[in-house]
Amino acid sequence: MKFGVVVFPGSNCDRDMQDALQDDLNQEVIMLWHKDKDLSMFSTEDCIVLPGGFSYGDYMRCGAIARFSPMMQSVIEFAQKGGKVLGVCNGFQILCESHLLPGVLLRNANQQFICRNVYLKGIGSDKALKIPIAHGEGRFYADDATLNKLEANNQVIYRYCNENGEITAEANPNGATRNIAGICNEQRNVFGMMPHPERATSAALGNTDGRIVLQSLIMGVTAVTEKAALVNF
């Protein structure tokens, strides 16, 4: 699998993602500038990544301006053809603004920027993964009809939990509805999450749980285990 990492003005996790995929997971990575449009070097077996940061300064709603960039028009077409797309933090916000994923990311319930490790529980697993978060607008919200549809289709991929894997209100760092930390689309080729797996792939940092998330893209499995995880990529 080949990865393309989109770089917007204000992206600040693009190189983190590149290093995680390229150096820690030995994958081919191509950096993509927001003003470009060409994705011809990628097949639908590859993956485009929208990294974290503050695209275009987040001067409007987070991700609202990036949604209209030339590269995002190509990414939307790529996803509609079945290509794989991963959005992390600001990338998740961009996916929701682009309507590639349902719901919105609202201001954190405590009205503060949060930067710390949290625990996530993936679909079909009892294992709690320790993954960093760093966001001010990470509170996932959707109406009840949308939430019930996500639940029925097993599109809720990750929920915030405590270190024992228990999904509790206390373990929810931002007030996200139903503790939702990550979702995918119905076709299971577009995936968004607020936590940063790319910041947890190096043994030098004392945590490699992020590899489980990113390896799921490479291995194409559907169940979260200690060796691989989650979306049917």
Q: Would you write out the chain's pLDDT as a tens digit for each of its 233 residues? A: 899 999 999 999 999 999 999 999 999 999 999 999 999 999 999 999 999 999 988 877 888 899 999 999 999 999 999 999 999 999 999 999 999 999 999 999 999 999 999 999 998 788 899 999 999 999 999 999 999 999 999 999 999 999 999 999 999 999 999 999 999 999 999 999 999 999 999 999 899 999 999 988 777 533 333 344 444 43
Selected catalytic residue, list 13, 34, 161, 196: 196
**Residue 89 annotated in active site:** yes
Selected catalytic residue, list 13, 47, 89, 161: 89
Largest Cα separation within the chain, whole Å, is 45
CA dist 129 and 120 (Å) reads 5
Selected catalytic residue, list 13, 47, 135, 198: 198
- The first and second tokens of residue 199, run together, are 């910041």
8-state DSSP, 53? B
Q: pTM of the entire structure?
A: 0.92
What's the helix, strand, coil split of the chain in %, to 5?
Answer: 30, 25, 45
**Residue 184 annotated in active site:** no
The yes/no answer on whether domain 2-219 falls in CATH 3.40.605.10 is no
**Residue 115 annotated in active site:** no
The answer to whether 177 touches 140, Cβ cutoff 8 Å, is yes
